[in-house]
Structure 1
Amino acid sequence: MIRRRTAVALLASPLLLTGCGGGAEATERRTSPRRPAPAPTPGTTTPPAPAPGTATPPRGIPGLGPERTAAIPARCTQAVVVTGRGENSPLCTVVLHQRTPAGWQAGPAWPAHNALRGWSAHHTLGDLRSPLGVYTLSDAGGLLADPGSKLPYHRSSGFHSPGTGFEGEPLEGSFDYVVAIDYNRKPGTSPLDWTRPLGAARGGGVWLHVDHGGPTHGCVSVAKAHMKDLLRTLDPGRHPVVVMGYADWLAH
């Protein structure tokens, strides 16, 4: 958790899916004798062909049920999905999804950590759980210089992270790069800003930040290279959000 200041933006390359067609197969179709269609197996039916002009439905985000999908704003075209292994687990996976005309395209899956005790629908200060929900991503910052963030980026010595984590791992460098999660904070301010619209008892300072190899107090952490990818990809013009929770909750 944290203290005060200002922000900048993110970039990660989308996963491009390509396919190839071979000329040999086309030639074979032209020159090979036509074979009769095989007879259907008894007791089976052949599915009807799609009606002319029928469009394939756009792809949704895998793992998200209708309730979580509906919570993503219509204008959002970038969603960081954090999928926890269980309600009480500190382990999760992070995937950046980007909306295209064909639907949502997934980037690579990154191993990550969330809070020591898992997840909470009513996060409070010191409960050592990450808040469930869909939150906007507005601001970034860190101890290090801006790596090319598209979100407003606030560099400050206030992002220093001394001490050790729950498993004895050093915390130094954890806040080299951060993206503020808009849980109980004022968007448009530094991730270090202490404004707590829900009150101090509901906690705050929940970020995406550099992984230190163990559970967090409430944040979500990924490897430093992946944080740089996010900073260089997340674009305020695309209204990015984070969708975060354990798998069973996300599936609703």
Structure 2
Amino acid sequence: MKKFFTLSIFLMIGMWSCKKDNPDEKPPLAEVTIQFKLYNGTSEVAMNTDFKLADNRTINIQELKFYISHVRFLNQNGETRHTDSVLALMRMLEPEHHHVKVQVQPGTYSSLEFYPGLDSIANSKNPVDFPREHPLSAFFNMHWNWNMQYRFVLMELRAKDYNPSIPCSYHPGTNTLLRISKISFDKSYQFEAGKKYKITLWMNVNTMFDGPSGYINFLTENQAHAEPGDFELTRKFMENFAASFQFSSLVKLH
């Protein structure tokens, strides 16, 4: 009986040790919510509301949807660790769809990057193959056709300094125009295992229309659909849009 008891103790210790050292057991991750807000200078912008850009042009954004994919967090050396795969459709008319949640390996990070769009694999998918709630579903009207595939961004606005006001549509897409957004934090932040955080990113509307790829004139440059006749305008808007994201804040929730 004594031998049996001793053997049982050793077996339990062995099982506990194997469980502890199991290389397939994943450590707990940190959960990060990335929230997006439209900003004009230092003021938040409301959808379907007239406001003036920095150059005094008045616009009204009536619709804005865009994809977020391939989110990565980087340390100060530009190295990245595990971040779970995410694909989300931000819908700025719906407050509950202004954010995306990602799981991140614990560590210290100083920046993040993502595609405001889809990689070539996701872009080639058939929208009718997905349930209604999926970001790639036909329900969201983000798919052009089999040649053009998905829109990465869908923005509709009115340029109000004209009579009548000018309707403007910017719908960049195609694999050729996929760009990456890189956002630096104000300092390095440590993400702890099992903890939750929220990052707020501003989207500077001034950069979208007067950014690193140039100025967009609403009178002559108001339709961008990646077609041959407006491809350069579409490229300009896509590159400005990708550059419009700025770090605002990072808070630990609990």
TM-score (norm 2): 0.23
Q: Which has the higher contact order (CA 8 A, sep 6+)?
A: 1
Higher helix content, 1 or 2:
2
TM-score (norm 1): 0.23
